[in-house]
Structure formats: structure tokens, C-alpha cells
Amino acid sequence: MNIACIGTGFVGVVTAGVFAKLGNSVIGLDIDEKKIGSLRQGIVPFFEPGLGELLIETQKTGNLTFTTDYNTGIKDADIVMIMVGTPSSPDGQADLKYVFAASESLAPHLKDGAIVIIKSTVPPGTNVKVREIIASKTKVSFEMASVPEFLKEGTAVHDTLHPDRVVIGVESDRARNILVELHTPLTSNVIIMRPESAQMCKYAANNYLATRITFINQIADLCEKNGANIEEVIRGIGADKRIGKHYWYPGLGYGGSCFPKDVKEIAAYAHSVGESESLFIKIDDLNEKRISKLMVQYDQLVGGFDGKTVTVLGLSFKKNTNDTRVAPALQVIPWLLGKGAKVVATDPKAIEDIRPLLPVAVTYTTDVYSAVNGAHVIMLLIEWDEYKHLDLAKMSESMLSPKYFFDTRNQYEPVVVISAGFKYKGVGR
């Protein structure tokens, strides 16, 4: 099939590469000329395992091309996928200006019978507004569909090639048949529903996962009051099949480009439809306060950060990505500097991404061992594989007493860290 992918950001470029790999003829379209220039050379503007190779391979076969021109991108497309950003507005609602702008731009070039899919995360009902915008600017017949995206940064190529499920919201048998045929090579678990339900699936999934993170943080805080250990509690509850053992992350709360905004957006959406007493407002509020809650605790433990040197490990919002959108480091580091600490920061991939976003007072190094030289505190923010088997004794030797290891991801057994000469503090244990 001929596919146009509008928006070659994170979701767009992975989706374009994967559908091209499956043998479709795909054009990636973006208004950002610099980005399109890099993608044409196979240069991905962010770190994502396997993506660079996928783009080079699919461009070599001729299945994938890139353009900034709407006519070139849309005129032959049987399927047009809208994958532009949907940031939160100041009032928390999804800002749909990029979705609407893309819809206006694509409409005059649409081929008769094309299916326009919204893959961006949008509130239910957005497909109706997009249909109106497109219909006002074209005479051809077209159909609308919603196919929300569930990929995870860090494993995005794998997730797109092997999704747990594909959710397709459609209104006609024709669109249903075409989209099932398109997605069947990826999975047999294609779930068909109305567009509004598909859009709710995306919000429901992300809000449920954000709720789990907030929930386990609440339980972890209670564990600290009574000598329980959150890791043992997770093992105990996870054995219950109704609960499951995966996706328990006590720590600094959720971050990244999706969860914070999707929680704010569903809360604002609930309010806009008259549901003012929603769980989502509380989840958002607890998550917003999470990092400062832990920082206050750490400040007390070290007897005040003023004059101390803190080495921060992990600057992206999670491992295996250089994406720093709503990364904990963006809150933690200014907080530490505000308390008078000196901060040395390290990360395997995200240093250059975060540098412009933080005060110039921060010192950076890619070498984790030189990063701790002369420091009093190690603060592990992100569980990169590179930080899983650190030589703690070697690190301890070059640090100043009293030495603290704040393990916000419960990556280390306390006894191992303590025996290397540190005072240890994890989360909920």
C-alpha cells in the first residue's frame, strides 16, 4: 500500500520505517526541513535502538522516502497517518493545533478513497473535528480511522514490529478490511472498535500505567514507616494473577513525553465533560510532588546538601533513550543547585540533550568513575544497564565521607552498597 506518515518525530519515523520494512511504499512528511534532511541521510535525530539501521535499510530498498512537500507526500497515498505532536495546553487539555494544521494541509492533496488515520494521542471525538476540517477543503471521498500508538521509547522498533495488540477504530467495513490487511503482518491480535473507543484505549492504558506507578509509590512510602520492604511486597502481590508481577516501579514517579501529559489531558477532558471528581487529578498532583518529597528526605539524611558534591547518574527520562522530556534530572538537579550542592552529571546518551535545559553550573562527564571523584553523594536516577554492575568499592575510594548512595530505582541490594562503604537509601525498603 502507499502510505503517507505525517510528522516524522518519534512515533512517525518508527512507524514509517516499520511499514516500509513490510514492503509498503512509505513517504515520511514533516514541516521540519532539518529533520527531513537528516532522515534522508539515515541520521536519526535521537537515540533509539535499531532505528538507524531500519531507516538505512528501507531507504536503500526504495520503500521509504522523505519530503517536506504535502502534494508529493499525499497525492498517491491510500493511507494517510497523522502522527504530529499533541502537547498539553496550560490548562491541561490536549493542544490539537498541530493535528488540525496537518489536516488542513493534507486535505487539498487527498486521493479519492484515501483513509486518514489519527495515530497521535487525541481526546475522543477529535476524529469528527478532523473530518470536518478535511471535508471543508476537498471534494474527494475519504474515510477516517483511529489507530492509537502504544510503542515505548527504548524498545520502539521492536514494539512496532511485534505489538501486543493493534487497536483499530473504524466506521465502515471497507476501512476495517483495509486496515486489518495492513496490520495483520504485525500481529493477529487486531482489535476492532469505534474510533472513540480506540482513542479512549490510549488514554486508559497510559493512565492505568501512571496510576500503578503512583500506587506503588504510596505503598513504598508506607513500607518505610513500618519496616516492610517494597520489593518483597511486589513479589507477594505480583504472584496474584489478577495483579501481575510486571510494571512495578517504586521511585521518582513517572516522566517522559506521554504519561505526564496524558494524565493531565484525561483529567482536563473529564472536567470538560462534567466529571469534576476524577482520580486523574489526584494522580497528577501526587506525581508532581513526588520528586521534591524524596529530595527533602535525602536533604535531611545528608544533613543538608549545601557544600556537598552530588553525582547524578542518568539524565534521560528512562533508560535506552536520550529523550529528556519530563526527565527527573530536570527537576532534581535545579533542586540540588538551589540547596547549594555542586552537581556532576553523567548519562550514556543524553548529556548533549539535557545540557541546554539545565543551569551552566552543572559539570558533565561521560565517565561514571571520574564523575564520582571527590563527591559525597551518588544519586542513581535512571537504571541504565551501564549502572547495573558498578564497581562500588572503586567509586567509594575516590569519594569524600560521609558517602551516600541514593538509589531511586532500587537497583542495588542495600547490603552490597553498604559493604562498599556507603550509607544506602532506596525507595520503600
Ligand X SMILES: NC(=O)c1ccc[n+]([C@@H]2O[C@H](COP(=O)([O-])OP(=O)(O)OC[C@H]3O[C@@H](n4cnc5c(N)ncnc54)[C@H](O)[C@@H]3O)[C@@H](O)[C@H]2O)c1
Supply the minimum distance, in Å, between the C-beta of residue 250 and ligand X.
22
Supply the minimum distance, in Å, between the C-beta of residue 186 and ligand X.
15
| CB within 8 Å of 380: residues ≥ 6 apart | 313, 314, 387, 405, 406, 407, 408, 409, 411, 412
Size of the site for ligand X (CB under 6 A): 27
Measured N-to-C along each axis, helices 279-301 and 195-226 cross at an angle, to the nearest 10 degrees, of 30
385: helix, strand or coil: helix
Supply the minimum distance, in Å, between the C-beta of residue 182 and ligand X.
18
Supply the minimum distance, in Å, between the C-beta of residue 122 and ligand X.
7
Q: What angle do CA 240, 244, 246 make, to 5 degrees?
A: 150
- Applying CB under 6 A, among 31, 56, 270, 301 the residue interacting with ligand X is 31
Does 159 help bind ligand X (rule: CB under 6 A)?
no
Supply the minimum distance, in Å, between the C-beta of residue 362 and ligand X.
25
Site for ligand X in 33-62 (CB under 6 A): 35
**Straight-line distance from the first to the last Cα atom of the chain, in angstroms, rounded to the nearest whole number:** 53
Q: Which residues pair with 27 in a beta bridge?
A: 4, 65
Site for ligand X in 243-272 (CB under 6 A): 257-258
Q: Which is nearer to ligand X, 86 or 331 (by Cβ)?
A: 86
Are 57 and 21 in contact, with CB atoms under 8 Å apart?
yes
Q: Which is nearer to ligand X, 130 or 362 (by Cβ)?
A: 130
Q: Which is nearer to ligand X, 84 or 144 (by Cβ)?
A: 84
Residue 343 CA to residue 330 CA, distance in Å, equals 12
Are 364 and 349 in contact, with CB atoms under 8 Å apart?
no
Does 322 help bind ligand X (rule: CB under 6 A)?
no
Lookup: cell for 343: 552537581
Supply the minimum distance, in Å, between the C-beta of residue 12 and ligand X.
6
Does 154 help bind ligand X (rule: CB under 6 A)?
no
- Applying CB under 6 A, among 151, 161, 329, 333 the residue interacting with ligand X is 151
> For the chain, what's the residue count?
429
Q: Which is nearer to ligand X, 150 or 369 (by Cβ)?
A: 150
Q: Which is nearer to ligand X, 118 or 223 (by Cβ)?
A: 118
- Applying CB under 6 A, among 5, 11, 115, 268 the residue interacting with ligand X is 11
Does 317 help bind ligand X (rule: CB under 6 A)?
no
Residue 354 CA to residue 331 CA, distance in Å, equals 12
Contact segment (CB under 6 A) with ligand X among 25-33, 244-252, 292-300, 364-372 equals: 25-33
Kindly write down the DSSP assignment for every residue of 217-238, as one continuous string.
HHHHHHHHHHT--HHHHHHHHH
**By C-alpha distance, which of 321, 361, 302 is closest to 337?**
361
Supply the minimum distance, in Å, between the C-beta of residue 140 and ligand X.
20
User: Measured at CB, which residue is nearest to ligand X?
Assistant: 9
- Applying CB under 6 A, among 24, 63, 120, 322 the residue interacting with ligand X is 120
Outline where 184-229 has alpha helix (H): 195-226
Q: What angle do CA 93, 154, 23 make, to 5 degrees?
A: 95
Other Cβ atoms closer than 10 A to 97: 13
With 0-12 CB in 10 A as exposed, 13-18 as middle and 19+ as buried, what is 177?
A: exposed
Per-position x/- string for 64-103, each x denoting binding to ligand X as judged by CB under 6 A, each - no binding: -------------------xxxx-----------x--xx-
Q: Which is nearer to ligand X, 203 or 387 (by Cβ)?
A: 203
Are 286 and 294 in contact, with CB atoms under 8 Å apart?
no
**By C-alpha distance, which of 293, 428, 324, 312 is closest to 381?**
312
- Applying CB under 6 A, among 153, 231, 284, 353 the residue interacting with ligand X is 153
Q: Which is nearer to ligand X, 267 or 372 (by Cβ)?
A: 267
Does 200 help bind ligand X (rule: CB under 6 A)?
no
Supply the minimum distance, in Å, between the C-beta of residue 242 and ligand X.
26
Enumerate the active-site residues: 258
Q: Which is nearer to ligand X, 50 or 334 (by Cβ)?
A: 50
Does 167 help bind ligand X (rule: CB under 6 A)?
no
Supply the minimum distance, in Å, between the C-beta of residue 151 and ligand X.
5
**Which 8-state DSSP code applies to residue 61?**
T
Does 10 help bind ligand X (rule: CB under 6 A)?
yes
Residue 58's region, left for phi above 0, alpha for psi from -120 to 50, else beta, is alpha
Q: Which is nearer to ligand X, 263 or 294 (by Cβ)?
A: 263
Residue 376 CA to residue 396 CA, distance in Å, equals 9
Task: Give the binding site for ligand X (CB under 6 A).
Answer: 6-12, 29-32, 35, 83-86, 98, 101-102, 105, 120-121, 149, 151, 153, 257-258
